[in-house]
A and B are shown apart, each in its own frame.
Chain A
Amino acid sequence: MRARAPITGFMARHPRLSQLATIALFLLVWEITARFFVDKMFLSPPSRVYSEIDRVLNTKGLMQALTLTLYELSAAFVIAVAIGMAIGLSVGLNAFARRCFMPIILLLYGIPQIVILPLFILGLGIGPPSKIAFGVTHGIFPIILAIVAGVQNLKPVLLTSARSMGANRWHVLRYVVLPHMMPSFFSGLRLGMTGVLLGVLLAELYVSTAGIGYFTGLFTQNFDPTRLLGLISILAAMAIALNEFMRTVERRFSRWRGND
């Protein structure tokens, strides 16, 4: 074995530590930059953002706005998963439907949806429905694509053998198709979650009369970076928590992959 510097050797054996160190370094750079180099009208150091987080939470109406956003996110996610799964399965399992509709789906996915956001507002108003809808249209495509791809590379002999043992349609779906696509289904769910988050927050920021969008606008106009960054940190923490939750579920369901 080659000799390594003790510190790097130690770090190499503890990837978690390197991770934490990276984050700590980032926070440190941010802290120093904010304290000594940037006007505090534009940037607050993380220590201050953290110590004044309760000021964000105590802002009148903000908790309701966060709750509303969370509700919009969940609604959009559930709808995106339900419709995405239905479309993904029916398109993915049928060669004809795949040839017909996949190009259309890919085409739609390619459109930067922000350009049609005004249409959503026009059609559905400035309340939650337009935000949920915009979240759905962002989240649904990665889910459809992941399911179609997941269903694709199923070995035909597995289907044939299930049928030869007497499996009916439900058996095939439940015991062959679903377990096969579990891993890609979960990565689809995670990407879908990211999409939903993007869609809902974009709509929220665009319609800044209420909700999170209103408060980001308010904090920006008041040159209050502490509360702005605090709010952003809360949103980021929410996104990270959701993502980690999905990853945990995913790991549980794809145990067998590890030894294939």
Chain B
Amino acid sequence: MQKQDISVQIQNVSHSFGVEGHAKHVRALLDTTMDIHRGELLALIGPSGCGKSTLLNVIGGILSPTTGGASVNGKPVNGPMPHDIAYVFQENALFPWNTIIENIRLGMLFQGVPKADHEGRARAALKAVGLSEFADHYPGQLSGGMRQRAALARALSLDTPVVLMDEPFGALDEQTRMVLGEDLSELLSRTGKTIIFVTHSLGEAVFLADRIAVFTARPGRIKEVIPVDEPHPRKASFMTSDKFNGLRNRLFELLHDEIRKTVNLRSGSTGGF
């Protein structure tokens, strides 16, 4: 992979919510800079509330940062870029009044895909996440994990070079997550997409990512970027290797300090009562 081949560029992004000096002022993200290569899988991991979703929203053009900015495929981001970026949100964002396949078709309609292609692409995306049989179910009839897979199928059907995923498997148990991770690793290495995903699972980060960006506690900054030198698609045997465990332990150490800080901060602020 060539270093020059940069897909997503994050430059000095800082973001604060609310008005400075106000009680509700929150500095969510502090001076984050990072380049993500084409075809790379970058995992973002960090304590809850450190600004991971905020960063994805900046890249996705949903949030305009207080300072700095992002660019995707050489174009500066000033709003949603439906042809470049697909975004799988942390919350369930399927339309409850549409069936799964209608949801997927609707995404393509919004993006401007010719009608003739909708059915074929929707079926293919459903198959990729193993939900073919549930095409005509409503989101309310699926389990949490199935809903997340449906949302992923909708994003994949849009066929964008960049996919942002905010805890795409948050509702799944560790084992299913890993099995699905295997399939995903296979699928993503085939499509050559650039993926930035947030996860709270150390194992998932190591198993899927090419690089892992570890965030500090709020206000979030990138504390360290850990490369995972292992070709895709990865097999289940990687999960039991020493390399995997070494990386996982390293991640745990880095995160442990930061999470301790977040928790202390919180107990400090409520200590007065």
Q: Which residues of A contact B (CB under 8 A)?
A: 155, 157-158, 160-167, 171, 175-176, 179-180, 182, 256, 259-260
Contacts and interface: CB of A to CB of B under 8 A. Distances in A.
Query: Which of B60, B87, B97, B140 gathers most chain A CB within 10 Å?
Result: B97
B140 A164 contact: no
B254 interface: no
B89 A256 contact: no
10 contacts: A162-B110, A164-B61, A164-B85, A165-B86, A171-B109, A175-B106, A256-B97, A256-B98, A256-B138, A260-B96
Interface in B100-151: 106-107, 109-112, 138-141
Given A164-B86, A166-B83, 4 more contacts: A155-B91, A165-B86, A166-B80, A256-B140
Contacts of B62: 160, 163-164
A256 B87 CA distance: 25
Contact of B97 (A163, A164, A171, A179): A179
Contacts of B206: none
A94 to B, nearest CB: 20
B263 interface: no
A187 B206 CA distance: 51
B110 A179 contact: no
A182 B98 CA distance: 13
A165 B97 contact: no
Contacts of B141: 259
Contacts, number: 63
- Give me the 5 closest cross-chain CB pairs, A-B, nearest first: A166-B82, A161-B93, A260-B140, A167-B110, A165-B110
Given A163-B80, A166-B82, A259-B140, A171 B110 contact: yes
B244 interface: no
A256 B109 CA distance: 21
Interface string B7-44: 00000000000000000000000000000000000000
B72 interface: no
Given A171-B109, A171-B110, A175-B106, A164 B138 contact: no
Given A164-B82, A165-B86, A180 B60 contact: no
A175 B80 contact: no
A161 B92 CA distance: 10
Contacts of B87: 161, 164
Nearest to A168: B110
Nearest to B96: A260
A176 B95 contact: yes
A259 B138 contact: yes
> Do most interface residues of chain B lie in helix, strand or loop, or is the interface mixed?
loop
Interface of B: 60-62, 80, 82-83, 85-87, 89, 91-93, 95-98, 106-107, 109-112, 138-141, 158
Given A166-B80, A259-B138, A160 B93 contact: yes
A162 B138 CA distance: 18
Contacts of A260: 96, 138-140
Contacts of A179: 95, 97-98
A155 B92 CA distance: 10
Contacts of B98: 179, 256
A9 to B, nearest CB: 33
Contacts of A162: 110
B39 to A, nearest CB: 22
Nearest to B99: A256
Contacts of B138: 256, 259-260
Contacts of B89: 157, 160-161
Contacts of B139: 260
A3 to B, nearest CB: 38
A256 B103 CA distance: 13
A193 B97 CA distance: 25
A137 B135 CA distance: 45
B75 to A, nearest CB: 15
B103 to A, nearest CB: 10
Nearest to A180: B97
B111 A165 contact: yes
Nearest to A178: B97
Contact of A164 (B60, B92, B95): B60
A171 B111 CA distance: 11
B118 to A, nearest CB: 13
A219 B98 CA distance: 54
A164 B95 CA distance: 14
A254 B61 CA distance: 33
Contacts of A182: 97
Contacts of B158: 165
A165 B140 contact: no
